[in-house]
Chain A
Amino acid sequence: MAFIAGGTEVGGSSVPPRNILINGAMTIAQRGTTSTSSGYKTVDRFRNSLSSGGAWTQSQSTDSPAGFANSYKNECTTAETDMENMSYALVYQKIEGQLLQHLDFGTASPKKITLSFWVKSSLTGTHVCQLHAPYIETTEYNSHAYTVNVANTWEYKTITWTGDTGDVIPNDNSSSLRVYWFLGVGNGYGSGTLTNDLWHTTTANRAAGQVNLAGTVGNTFYLTGTQLEIGEAASPFEHRGYGDELAKCQRYYYLVASGNGVGGSDTVGLGTYYVSDQIYGAFFTKQTMRVQPTLEVVTGSSYYKLYSNGQTDMFSGLLTQQAGTNCFFWYSAGMSGTAGHAGWIRTMSTESKVALQAEL
């Protein structure tokens, strides 16, 4: 139920979630739980990014502080002891502008925002978090150092930033604010001087002082309980239900089916032979996706099977007929059936996978 305090509605369904970040407790991992590749590969909405910053394995870990079940782990597997000029290794989440309108950035009275998180790092010393606001031309970055006091031990950190008065955040679905946790940087990003809570455009100041976690194989960086909220103080982590958190993630990534479903197979959906050698089907997305999604499909001989008219038809993958944000039409050619016959499709390999991606 909503109520009014000082003329401001402070409760009820119209109030934005306290935590602006999605999947802050790292509980959702639709893509998988471990990967040696960079990018969006494990926990939803979070990714790592590397540029000559060594090689890393990222995973959804069960190593976590009290009150949490999971964390986002990045472990260095190939060291980069001498980070080149513009090298970096970092993890981050991007946020849509339309989820940030209540921050009042670009006005005379922007809201202060506070980031809180649990971190466990192999290295003690200075680490750097940063807000990156690519929509602001004059003051794009705001960095803040934090100190890891004890190696390989969970520590709770909070950082408060002053809102930016420069430009209004675009009220759209583009990437307007990014929250970075640096793992290591070269001189191009670290040779300057870091001033906490200062909006600037000096690249060399972005992560000055950051320890180099990429310097030794086996170094680890764990992160969980991440929360970005309005105000000058961190509040307790907003634990959302698994279904609620999954629904938020599905705006950006929707796992339709994978080979690891019930009984070693999973249901892809229904389809119909439009002509004798083509079948068409639709995925009704769980959420309106951020943009027209990319179809992500693992292909292989006989990875998918269609059951129709008492017969089966094996096929290797799917293609896009029409990529809608609420309904995605797919097709597959090279089939052998009867136009007008319907059927259902299953995955047939442990490797099979069909998903829609609309990440920032």
Chain B
Amino acid sequence: MAINYKLSTNGQGEFNSVRKTITDSNLELVIPLAEDNADYQEYLEWVAEGNTPEPAE
């Protein structure tokens, strides 16, 4: 099970969220850039471990 993060934008192309996907799953989490959001905290920990998200499309 591999976790992947990808930067995401609103409809106007402005960076506003991070998309989290998991291998072999079609569940997607679109995480806001909110420091008190637990999913965003988990993302920041993932980055702190040296990982890099994919750029936005």
Contact A292 B11 (CB under 8 A): no
Contacts of B40 in A (CB 8 A): 294
User: In this assembly, does B16 line the interface, its C-beta being within 8 Å of a C-beta of chain A?
Assistant: yes
The residue from A292, A333, A353, A359 contacting B34, defined by CB atoms under 8 A apart: A292
Number of contact residues on A: which range applies?
20 to 34
Contacts of A293 in B (CB 8 A): 32, 37
The residue from A278, A320, A359 contacting B30, defined by CB atoms under 8 A apart: A320
Contact B38 A319 (CB under 8 A): no
A301 smallest CB distance to B (angstroms): 10
A168 smallest CB distance to B (angstroms): 19
Contact A360 B38 (CB under 8 A): yes
User: In this assembly, does B23 line the interface, its C-beta being within 8 Å of a C-beta of chain A?
Assistant: no
Contact B29 A296 (CB under 8 A): yes
A46 smallest CB distance to B (angstroms): 15
User: In this assembly, does B4 line the interface, its C-beta being within 8 Å of a C-beta of chain A?
Assistant: no
The residue from B17, B27, B36 contacting A320, defined by CB atoms under 8 A apart: B17
Contact B16 A320 (CB under 8 A): yes
Known: A319-B17, A320-B10. A299 touches B32 (CB 8 A): no
User: In this assembly, does A100 line the interface, its C-beta being within 8 Å of a C-beta of chain B?
Assistant: no
**Which residues of A, 315-337, contact B by the 8 Å Cβ criterion?**
317-323, 331, 333
B48 smallest CB distance to A (angstroms): 18
Contacts of A358 in B (CB 8 A): 37
Contact A351 B26 (CB under 8 A): yes
**Which residues of B, 9-33, contact A by the 8 Å Cβ criterion?**
10-11, 16-17, 19, 26-32
CA–CA, A316 to B19, complex, Å?
15
Contacts of B10 in A (CB 8 A): 319-322, 331
B25 smallest CB distance to A (angstroms): 9
6 nearest A-B residue pairs (beta carbon)? A323-B32, A292-B34, A295-B30, A331-B11, A292-B32, A294-B39
- Residue ranges of B at the interface with A (Cβ–Cβ < 8 Å): 8, 10-11, 16-17, 19, 26-32, 34, 36-40
Given contacts A293-B37, A297-B27, 13 further A-B contacts (CB under 8 A): A291-B34, A291-B36, A293-B32, A294-B39, A296-B27, A296-B29, A299-B26, A319-B11, A320-B32, A321-B11, A321-B16, A323-B17, A333-B11
- Residue ranges of A at the interface with B (Cβ–Cβ < 8 Å): 173-174, 274, 278, 280, 291-300, 317-323, 331, 333, 351, 353, 357-360
